[in-house]
Amino acid sequence: MTLAMKLAARVEDVKKTYDLGPALVEPLGGAKQELNFAPMGADEGRILVKALRGVTLDFPEGDFVAIMGASGSGKSTLLNLLGGLDRPTSGRYILDGVDVSQMDDADLSHMRNQKLGFIFQSYNLITQYTVLENIELPLHYRPGYPPIGPAERQWCLELATKVGLGERLDHRPFQLSGGQQQRVAIARALVNNPEIILADEPTGNLDSGTSNEIMEMLTSLNKEGRTIIMVTHEPDIANWARRQIVMRDGVVFKEALTADILRAAAAAPAGEPVAAH
């Protein structure tokens, strides 16, 4: 698979620190306070969690990347930054040639609406809306708020048909199976024709058969030329991607092409874990 050299997105030395408030210097009862997270550093008596500690990554146009890592490794934080739901503490995030790392809320919202499509583990459909209304939703927030006309309706119908839900337009999410709900989410992610699709554990709630269907759908979208960035912790799912990135302790731990990983796995003795994971 050949990739266009143009970059869809690039993060440069991105750091993200969460401030959890003042540290407890004198724990109650004199006992040492047991914290359920690891304070990565204390600054002037405050607990700071360094979720990302300098990440630089390129996402060429048309790439299909799986981001992996244990919980707390920073992969979700990275996806939130890529999705424009959060801003990095420092570093740059260039999306489609524009530095969006310090954009204000309105511009970030605009960017999410126009350039990104989201697919979530728990589908995140609006329960009281029908399939068609859910697919339409991003159209309501287009810049300038153009009215939704017959052309837009037709486009939503096409998308619904494309994901195989042409017959269920008036159903509500609770009348659909998990796989069907995820397809609605995929159609919704495509409605504004974004360049990048961000998927957060898209198959986390699905059985393996349905997972494969969803992954086939994502793969075909990737073949259409869309960049897909997916967070997962399942190696099987990650293997659908062209490239895999493993995060650990807020930095990129390992980066490899799926083809190379599979080759290494085939060479390694059976039973031993594949090095990348």
Partner 1 sequence: MSFTRLIRIIQLGLKSLLLHKLRSGLTMLGIVFGVFSVIAMLAIGEGASAQAQKQIVALGATNIIVRSLKPVEGSSSDQNAGGSPRYGLTRTDFKRLTNTISTITNAIPVRELPREARYLKNTMNCRLVGCTPEYLEVNHIKVTKGRFLSDADQDTRANVVVVAHEVAKDLFPIEEPLGKAIQIDSIYYTVIGVTSERTASAGIGGSLAAQDFNKDLYIPMNTFRARIGDEIFIPKQRGMDSEYLELSQITLTVRDVSDVLRTADVVRGTIEKFHTQKDFAVVVPLELLKQADQLRQIFNIVLGSIAAISLVVGGIGIMNIMLATVTERTREIGIRRALGAKQRDIIEQFLTETVVLSGSGGFLGMGLGLLTPLSFKVIRWFTLNFILDSRPGALSETSRMFSEMEPSVALWSLPLAFGISVGIGVIFGLYPARAAARLDPIEALRHE
Helix (H) or strand (E) holding 119, with range, is strand 116-119
Length of the chain: 277
Q: What is the smallest separation between the CB atom of 74 and partner 1, expressed in angstroms? A: 14
From first CA to last CA, the distance across the chain in angstroms is: 24
Binding footprint of partner 1 on the chain (CB under 8 A):
80, 83, 85-86, 105-106, 109-110, 112-114, 118, 120, 124-126, 128, 137-138, 140-142, 145, 147-148, 188, 192
- Taking the least distance from each CB to partner 1, the nearer of 89 and 109 is 109
Residue 61 CB burial class (10 angstroms; 0-12, 13-18, ≥19): middle
Q: What is the smallest separation between the CB atom of 72 and partner 1, expressed in angstroms? A: 15
Q: Which residues does residue 16 pair with via DSSP β-bridges, in sequence order?
A: 52
Q: What is the smallest separation between the CB atom of 45 and partner 1, expressed in angstroms? A: 24
Structural tokens at position 273: 């874990």
- Taking the least distance from each CB to partner 1, the nearer of 57 and 191 is 191
- Taking the least distance from each CB to partner 1, the nearer of 133 and 249 is 133
- Taking the least distance from each CB to partner 1, the nearer of 188 and 242 is 188
CA distance 137 to 140: 6
Residue type, 98: V
Q: Which own/partner contact pairs does 260-268 have at CB distance under 8 Å and 24+ positions apart?
A: none
**Among candidate residues 164, 179, 167, the one with its CA nearest the CA of residue 130:** 167
- Taking the least distance from each CB to partner 1, the nearer of 80 and 222 is 80
Q: Cα dihedral angle (105, 110, 114, 118), rounded to 10 degrees?
A: 30
Q: What is the smallest separation between the CB atom of 152 and partner 1, expressed in angstroms? A: 12
Helical H segments across 118-257, by residue range? 131-136, 150-162, 178-190, 208-223, 235-238
Q: What is the smallest separation between the CB atom of 227 and partner 1, expressed in angstroms? A: 18
Q: What is the smallest separation between the CB atom of 211 and partner 1, expressed in angstroms? A: 21
- Taking the least distance from each CB to partner 1, the nearer of 181 and 244 is 181
Contact call for residues 74 and 250 (beta carbons, < 8 A): yes
**Among candidate residues 253, 228, 230, 196, the one with its CA nearest the CA of residue 73:** 253
- Taking the least distance from each CB to partner 1, the nearer of 134 and 258 is 134
Q: What is the smallest separation between the CB atom of 18 and partner 1, expressed in angstroms? A: 11
